[in-house]
Amino acid sequence: MAAPRSITRILKSLPTSRNACSYHRRRSRASWLPAEVLAKRYSSNTATVAAAAASPSTEQTTSFPSPSPAPSGGNNSIINKQAQTTSDLPLKTYNVTKADARPKLSEHHKITFDEKKTLVPWEEGKTSHFQHVWMRDHCQCSECFHPETKQRVFDTFSVPKNIQPDIVEAEEKGMKIKWKNGGHESFYTWEWLHLHSYNPRLERYISPQFKFWGSEIAEGPPEVEYEDVMGSDAGVGEWTRKIRKYGFCYVNGVPVTPEATKELVERIAHIRHTHYGGFWDFTSDLSKKDTAYTTLALGVHTDTTYFSDPAGLQLFHLLSHTDGSGGQSILVDGFRAAKILREEDPTAYRILSNVRIPSHSSGNHDSSIQPYAPFPVFNHHPVHGELILVRWNNGDRATMDRWDDPADVGRFYEAARAWNDVLKRRENEYRDQLVPGRPLIFDNWRVLHGRAAFDGKRRLCGAYISRDDFMSRFVMSNSKREDVLKAL
């Protein structure tokens, strides 16, 4: 299924840049992939898994057509002379007749039903077909759907295979059905029926409103005030909106203590515990066997590529830096960088969307963290095909010794070199010196981070938050609960 429609509504409400990418507007209608393409994508257990389109956004956004899947049978190389070009892939989408279609019943047609389905005609000229078994399973009454837990308590499998309505009536606020085989009554509001219409789909998928950026973001980076975040859910809503839109955000005026920083993080969600612990308070003493605990320069990367589910958000707060200098932070918008690579070198983009890279974290003697399977650099949504996750940490890359075709070795290194070149371009880097009292939080699924070498002693604190917890807080702090529940 597509992204929750409650999230879609929130994203649509965010400001849109005047320079919205026209390419996105032309291509967004073709962002859905057919079942046969998805089946190919997930049928392979080799290093070659076809990926879909690139970056979601509208403020400098593109929904790229999917990279071609490797041909089935015979040589399963990533790049094959017989492979389709990206423009060859069949695509589909769902559109409504009117952009402002509303859940209003047609005044000129009646609701009808037969032995299998109920037909609901809408004013916009569409008719929704609801199968009876689906309707009965989705009854919203308190006997079938718990009013407090919002969980289904009805036994789906008690529904007769030939379930049919006895009476279907249109009322002012919705449709009432009295069922045969027991006489149970169900009621569905017009808004709910329109929102959840599946044949045809009436609600269109809208790409997230991401704002792409490069070095120019230094002129006005996203920021919020500590008192606003701590003072109200509205302040948290502003904070999470900026994190979602830009991929990072500063918080000004935070007390320079671990305790205040921990309370700040927990305004979004509970802290994610890992083999590094929960909330960190660390220096460059190699207490954890990771280069982050040194004074060395770090190239831009994403954290926890070695997790099956990488950390969603990461926060750093510089508490002090004494007897030395350096350590400038570097951020790169991974979605924007992927867009650049896709435009300049489609072959490299396709390779990094297909080759699965093994990762690990094994510096500590008591652990060797590895994901359940290797993942590619660019990971795409299985339904609408947009880029949702960049996984890139060259330092954590394990031995790559499984290839469908030995020739793919050279192709991978060429693609990785092209990607590294994009990441290191000065116009793509946002550089800034962290200062006490101004923590930085960023989306680890999108933004790559690194740092310059430094000397002296730096003390930082921070934490991870899982992506699901962040998205929950983002949605609930920017939308009414009843609207979120309607979309379930």
> Phi then psi for 99, rounded to 5 degrees?
-65, -25
pLDDT in tens, the chain (488 residues): 344 444 444 444 444 433 333 333 333 322 333 333 333 332 322 332 233 333 333 344 434 444 443 333 333 344 333 333 333 333 333 333 344 568 999 999 999 999 999 999 999 999 999 999 999 999 999 999 998 999 999 999 999 999 999 999 999 999 999 999 889 999 999 999 999 999 999 988 888 889 999 999 999 999 999 999 999 999 999 999 999 999 999 999 999 999 999 999 999 999 999 998 999 998 876 565 566 677 788 999 999 999 999 999 999 999 999 999 999 999 999 999 999 999 999 999 999 999 999 999 998 888 999 999 999 999 999 988 999 999 999 999 999 999 989 999 999 999 999 999 999 999 999 999 999 999 999 999 999 999 999 999 999 999 999 999 999 999 999 999 988 888 88
| pLDDT, position 378 | 98
- Domain ranges in the chain with CATH number 3.60.130.10: 221-488
Distances (CA, A) of 302 to 7, 27, 298, 442, 450: 25, 28, 11, 10, 9
Distance CA 412, CA 147 (A): 53
Query: Other C-beta atoms within 10 Å of 433: how many?
Result: 13
User: Checking DSSP bridges between strand 440-443 and strand 248-252, what pairing results, if any?
Assistant: antiparallel
| pLDDT, position 407 | 93
> What residues contact residue 223 under an 8 Å CB cut-off, 6+ apart?
242, 249, 250, 251, 252
Is 3.60.130.10 the CATH number for 221-488? Answer: yes
Query: Other C-beta atoms within 10 Å of 149: how many?
Result: 8
Is 3.30.2020.30 the CATH number for 112-203? Answer: yes
| pLDDT, position 14 | 46
Distance CA 243, CA 469 (A): 14
**8 A C-beta contact, residue 20 and residue 49:** no
pTM of the model: 0.80
- Domain ranges in the chain with CATH number 3.30.2020.30: 112-203
Distance CA 395, CA 363 (A): 12
